[in-house]
Amino acid sequence: MTHHLRFRPLWPTALLPLAAATALLAAPAHADTGKLLLTGGVSTVEGAAGGGISPWAVIGSQATEGETGGSAFVSRAVTRDYGLTTVGAAVGIDDRVELSIAQQDFNTGVTGTLLGLPGLHLKQHIVGAKWRVAGDAILDSDTLMPQIAVGVQFKQLQSSGLDATLQALGAKRSGADFYVSATKLFLAQGVLVNGTLRATRANQNGLLGHGATLGGADRGYALQPEISVAYLLSPKVAVGFEYRAMPNKLQRAGAAAGLGDGLRADDWKDIFIAWAPSKNVSLTAAYVDLGRIVPATTGGRKQTGVYLSAQLAF
């Protein structure tokens, strides 16, 4: 779980999207797409362009107005008890519309083992769409007007040994997040700021389903804020942090199941560095703190760890 930062990546496991991106890179028709370096963001763990854990109002890929581009990424996060590998791709059209897909593979580690499901991996598909509704995050440096986009992410958790548990808690295996993002580059200062408000009922990003009903817990949507701040150190390097508030709908259901606070969730945070060695490649590394994730089986440990992501964009 995890992930962070901006830049869209590619990693050892993302061979397929990478190959596709490489093939497209080789196509002369795409050689001249023209976003400025790093202004398309990187790939989030959910596939949308943005930081690592929060979507931004930018439209992914190197394509700007009148162009169509794409990106592919691979990312890997490892925390004290868990691991998350994500591969995905996005298409940016006319710097207006972004369509994205991501597949997450979450290694439940000790939690799976203690549930009698050793080796349990949770796999989730995410399909996203984003529409830029106003503004120009980069060039309108004489106003405070940010770039604004709205987006949706449909999440589907594949069937697994955890199905019965989720059902008992009243958590659904599919759900949708809706968000609005505002992104502004303060060009003279070299600082990029994004704020996102997300309507969601996803537990741990949907990896533990959506909502809960056991014990009177609720399945309703909650509005969660997210903030990203990045400082440009050079044309090719940015550093920053992110904060993503998370719903905590499983805690009450967990208590009703006799687990006390064993299912509580915390907000996600990261600090990152992103490097774009060229217009088409970006690499991101981050230190992440995802708070507690199923503390019942992990001794209440905070899930801190590292995140790496690589992206090809054209």
Question: Which residues, 6 or more positions from 94, have their beta carbon under 8 angstroms from its beta carbon?
Answer: 63, 65, 66, 67, 68
Tell whether residue 258 is a contact of another protein (CB under 8 A). Answer: no
Tell whether residue 25 is a contact of another protein (CB under 8 A). Answer: no
Question: Token pair for residue 247?
Answer: 């719903």
Q: Site for another protein (CB under 8 A): which residue of 35, 130, 201, 249?
A: 35
Least distance between another protein and beta carbon 94 (Å): 9
Q: Is 147 within 8 Å of 136 (Cβ atoms)? A: yes
Least distance between another protein and beta carbon 138 (Å): 7
Q: Site for another protein (CB under 8 A): which residue of 130, 155, 184, 201?
A: 184
Tell whether residue 138 is a contact of another protein (CB under 8 A). Answer: yes
The site map against another protein for 221-250 (x = CB under 8 A) is ----xxx----xxxx-------x-x-----
Tell whether residue 17 is a contact of another protein (CB under 8 A). Answer: no
Tell whether residue 67 is a contact of another protein (CB under 8 A). Answer: yes
Question: Token pair for residue 22?
Answer: 């490489």
Nearest in space to 45 (alpha carbons), one of 135, 105, 108: 105
Task: Indicate the residue among 106 and 272 with the shorter CB distance to another protein.
Answer: 272
Task: Indicate the residue among 85 and 194 with the shorter CB distance to another protein.
Answer: 194
Tell whether residue 27 is a contact of another protein (CB under 8 A). Answer: no
How many angstroms separate the CA atoms of 207 and 18, rounded? 25
Classify the phi-psi angles of 74: left when phi > 0, otherwise alpha if psi is within -120 to 50, otherwise beta. Answer: beta
Q: Is 129 within 8 Å of 152 (Cβ atoms)? A: yes
Q: Site for another protein (CB under 8 A): which residue of 16, 23, 141, 216?
A: 141
Tell whether residue 15 is a contact of another protein (CB under 8 A). Answer: no
Task: Indicate the residue among 152 and 180 with the shorter CB distance to another protein.
Answer: 180
Question: Which residues, 6 or more positions from 29, have their beta carbon under 8 angstroms from its beta carbon?
Answer: none
Tell whether residue 139 is a contact of another protein (CB under 8 A). Answer: yes
Question: Token pair for residue 197?
Answer: 């408000």
How many angstroms separate the CA atoms of 234 and 11, rounded? 24
Residues in the chain: 314
How many angstroms separate the CA atoms of 106 and 92, rounded? 27
Binding-site ranges for another protein (CB under 8 A): 32-37, 64-67, 95, 134-136, 138-146, 148, 180, 182, 184, 187-190, 193-197, 225-227, 232-235, 243, 245, 267
